[in-house]
Every structure is written in structure tokens, then in C-alpha cells.
Amino acid sequence: GERENMRLERLKTVSLIAAGLAHEIRNPLTAIKGFVQLMARRPEQLVPSAHLDIMLTEIERIERLTNEFRMLARPPRALQYAPVDLLSVIKDVLLLSEQQAADRGISLSFQVVMADQSQFLWPILVDAKYAPEKYYRINGDEGQIKQVMLNLLRNAMEAIVDKGCIQITLGKSGDHVIIAVKDNGSGICREALAQIGTPFFTTKVTGTGLGLSVCYSIIQQHGGKIEINSVVDQGTIVSILLPEMK
Ligand code: ADP
Ligand code: MG
């Protein structure tokens, strides 16, 4: 029946991604193995710190790949649905990211706009303090939504080479709540735009290409969608739309 089909579809997706994961892990493993073999051959020699650095970087890469893969492969029923207040989610995420942004010389700001300004062109600012919390409520898994926000913020920060700013906007459009993450970083070219979100597509040396796949999967499971607008050399706006909880 339909359930069976869904299960088969899912299995197909997961095994495709698993094949990709195996492939992606092979490179860092080969590098680590090479250095360890070198060390084993000359046990009396001091290991150059550059080699240790590479090994550590590669181990961290495997760590990220497996962490992100775990999130992607988790069955949807593992989600814990409950009322989630997006305002407090954003505040938590800001707290978690503040220091990292400051270290990179990036200013991080947050605004809440009034209802139904889907374009956010002329946002009427509302002091976050006065915004009624239940106004921006969804039914979802708070931890997962935080994960999405952290992934988007991470991408925004990585897109900014030297200083810059990231602005998070919370608002509404019709019966959806919107969170937009805007950066003034590198932007995304058309070729890349067509591919991002595909597992393992990355333009970064140390990227996993799984971050956005995780975001798409989580937001889709929440009945929402992700929109990306980007201009090369100017920046990117990633918007997530989630059905409002009445
Ligand atoms: P990763 O960050 O590991 O590369 P992601 O799935 O998070 O994997 O992102 C995939 C690609 O999408 C990135 O490598 C980058 O090219 C592009 N990208 C995502 N977000 C942004 C952004 N805010 N600005 C510019 N490029 C981005
Ligand atoms: Mg990423």
C-alpha cells in the first residue's frame, strides 16, 4: 500500500545518501591512514605538527559527516512535535552564535516585522519585547528547528570572508510564519544554486554538503518550505516558511 511505497522511497533515498557518505569518508580516512603509516614506519621520529593538524582536521570532517548524516537518516517519527515559540528559538540561537559571529567580525541582528509583509521590503519594526509570543508559534520539534537555524547561520557566516552582517527577520505571510536569514556574503552563482541542498554538494574545502539537506528534510517534515534568493557578491537570503499553529 501507500505506507509500503513510502518506506521503499525512503530506503532508496537513505541508501543513496549512505553510498555518498561512504565515498566522502574514504578521502579523510585515506589521509589519516597515510600519516599513521608514516608514523609507524618511523616511530623514533617526532611527528610534525602540520601532520597532526591535518589528521585532526580530517577526523573532524568525518565527525561532521557522521553527525549530519545521522540527522538526515533519522526516521520522521523520531520528531517530537509540540508547540514551538519561534521567537524564543531565535533568541536561543542568537545566544549560541553571538560569540562566534563576534570573533569573525560579523554583526548579528534580529528584527520582528508585523504580519503579512511577505516581502520584508518596508518592515514595520516591532520591539521583540512586545511581540506576543504565541503569534509566532508552530507545531514542531524545537531541537530540530534550532538545528536548521544553526545550519543557516553557519552557512551565512562562512559566506562572509571578511567582516559583514547577518540579519534574522521573523514575520508572517498568510498562515505561515517566516524566518529569513540574510547575509551580505559571497552569494551563490546560478550553477551552484541549482545544486545546493543535494546531499554532498559543497563549494567549500572543508564542507560536508549535508547542512542544507538536513534543513530541507526537517522543514519538509514540518510541512514547510525553504526559499533561497541570492545575488553573487551581494549576499543571500534564506527564508523558511512554516505553517502557523492556530
Ligand atoms: P556546506 O556548508 O558543508 O558546504 P551546505 O549544504 O550547508 O553544505 O551548503 C551547500 C553549499 O551551498 C555551500 O557549499 C555553499 O556553496 C552554498 N551556500 C549555502 N548557504 C550559503 C550562503 N548563505 N551564502 C553563500 N553560499 C551558500
Ligand atoms: Mg553548511
The three three-digit cell numbers of residue 175, written as one number: 498562515
pLDDT tens, 123-166?
A: 444 555 555 555 789 999 999 999 999 999 999 999 999 889 99
Asked if residue 203 lies in contact with residue 212, where contact means CB atoms within 8 angstroms, the answer is no
Counting ligand 1 atoms within 8 A of each CB, the residue from 62, 68, 69, 155 with the most, and so the one to mutate, is 155
Three-state SS annotation for 54-89: HHHHHHHHHHHHHHHHHHHHCCHHHCCCEEEEHHHH
The span from the CA of 225 to the CA of 89, in Å, is: 18
Packed helices 86-103 and 142-159: angle between N→C axes, nearest 10 degrees: 30
Say what the alpha-carbon torsion angle 100, 106, 108, 109 is, to the nearest 10 degrees. Answer: 170
Here the cell at position 192 is 551552484
Question: Is the minimum distance from the CB of 234 to ligand 1 under 6 angstroms?
Answer: no
Q: Please answer whether residues 166 and 109 qualify as being in contact, where contact means their C-beta atoms are separated by less than 8 angstroms.
A: yes
Q: How far apart are the C-alpha atoms of 112 and 189, rounded to whole Å? A: 29
ipTM of the complex in this document: 0.99
CB within 8 A of 113, min separation 6: which ones? 120, 123, 124, 125, 126, 169, 170, 171
What's the length of the chain?
A: 246
With a 6 A CB cut-off, is 147 part of the ligand 1 pocket?
no
Q: Tell me what pLDDT residue 121 has.
A: 42
Strand 235-243 vs strand 82-85: parallel, antiparallel, or unpaired?
A: unpaired
Nearest CA to ligand 1 atom 12: 196
Tens of pLDDT, residue by residue, the chain (246 residues) = 777 887 887 777 778 788 888 888 998 999 999 999 999 999 999 999 999 999 999 999 999 999 888 888 777 677 889 999 998 899 999 999 999 999 999 999 998 886 555 444 444 445 555 555 557 899 999 999 999 999 999 999 999 998 899 999 998 888 899 999 999 999 999 999 999 998 899 999 888 899 999 999 999 999 999 999 999 999 999 999 999 998
Residues, Cβ < 5 Å to ion ligand 2: 155, 211
Q: Give the closest residue (by CA) to ligand 1 atom 3.
A: 207
Within 10 Å of residue 77's Cβ, how many Cβ atoms?
8
Give which of 66, 207, 224 is closest to 144, Cα–Cα: 224
